[in-house]
Structure 1
């Protein structure tokens, strides 16, 4: 995948949470993750988009077919919303790191399962974070890209609280399930009170920086009309 090295270089580490257990009410409860274009399911697309991340966790039911090495968990109770799903995914990552005696990742991608063309947008998020990491490394080394000790506006922004995360915005609409955040920060924010809660209400506490994205890249599947437009109309399994 183009840009995969962004995760592997230096000390930058990134996990991913894919939210895939919604009730799909506007699709007559047909699981979004199961919708296929004849080659890939929406779940396949989401996992491919975050292929460079480690660990990857899918929040959804036991019936979801997952590749080897991809973690699975479920929000408690089931169908209690994406905020609860994000909480469950973050805790799963933390538990996996504890079991393997490895450090928790520095960053974490948050992605819904219903955006089949999202891969370029994910690369935008990774590039934004890479810029933050590079600026921090340069500061630690005492290097000023501008040749002076005073930071530029962009450098100051990168080092501010806003760098706790980035989320996508397309044509003025913010995408709460297209984002990347510092792992410890987002885990703390989503630690309690997530059942049936608004994802945006939690994410706003992180002061995320908006990353402008293409509407084509962030197009999602909420209705059968949208599924038809994107070419994902065949369900490979009928229920969770």
Structure 2
């Protein structure tokens, strides 16, 4: 299965005190490294966000404009970078039919991507597939989308001046995307230090103590659960 990958790593991380989610650690790997592993097999990978430093050979880096313009704008920037890369004389040529979109703040995302790959391989997927958590909530920042269809949606939103600060659900609204149930916890994301502690992610602000009170808020596993989009 041929695909490119766009990994979103450019959010403000305001509830993490500005600490980059991409650089948080779990099991000796950064969250960005985990996302890159989940995207293994991609023809070309682009990381959208501040330059994270050393990356595997061939991985591209770009930035949404303006910075912090949200995940829809980041998807647009990633697609543009991939298109330019494929068009280069020394590039890989024509872009693949599918593009994997991933946020970099989900430690267990590898399992979700595996389920989506299986779904794509077993039959028609319309304009793509996205992860659906065990409790039924959709996560559009874990999905394989038709490259041409996604490019059209981005171009239309840009034409209307509706790309910056736009909802990813709005960006995908015109696409025929099938939801695929994934393993429990596969789309749990890190928005706060309490989330990080619950998921075994380290890199906390020195002296910070997660809220351990009974009934304290814990994971917000999908976008629809907390009304915001990582990346």
Which aligned pairs between 1:70-81 and structure 2 lie closer than 5 A? 70-81=59-70
Q: How many residues align?
A: 197
Partners of 1:69 and 1:118 lie apart in 2 by: 22
Partners of 1:223 and 1:111 lie apart in 2 by: 19
91, 95, 110: which one aligns with 1:119: 110
Structure 1 runs of 4+ with >2 Å offset:
62-65
Offset of residue 62 of structure 1:
2.2
8 Å contact from structure 1 (residues 190, 202) kept in 2: yes
Unaligned runs of 5+ in 2: 206-231
User: Are residues 1:169 and 2:132 paired?
Assistant: yes
User: Are residues 1:180 and 2:149 paired?
Assistant: no
TM-score with structure 1 length normalisation? 0.78
Partners of 1:233 and 1:84 lie apart in 2 by: 29
Paired position in structure 1 for 2:154: 190
Which aligned pairs between 1:152-167 and structure 2 lie closer than 5 A? 158=124, 163-167=126-130
Counterparts in 2 of 1:208 and 1:28: CA distance versus 1, 3 Å: same
8 Å contact from structure 1 (residues 38, 234) kept in 2: no
Specify which structure has the bigger relative contact order, considering alpha-carbon pairs within 8 angstroms and separated by 6 or more residues: 1
TM-align CA RMSD: 1.6
Q: Which structure has the highest helix share of the two?
A: 1
Offset of residue 38 of structure 1:
5.3
Work out which of the two has the higher radius of gyration on C-alpha atoms and give 1 or 2.
Answer: 1
Offset of residue 207 of structure 1:
2.1
Partners of 1:35 and 1:230 lie apart in 2 by: 11
Partners of 1:212 and 1:32 lie apart in 2 by: 25
Paired position in structure 1 for 2:223: none
TM-score with structure 2 length normalisation? 0.81
Paired position in structure 1 for 2:177: 208
- SS of the residue corresponding to residue 28 of structure 2 reads coil
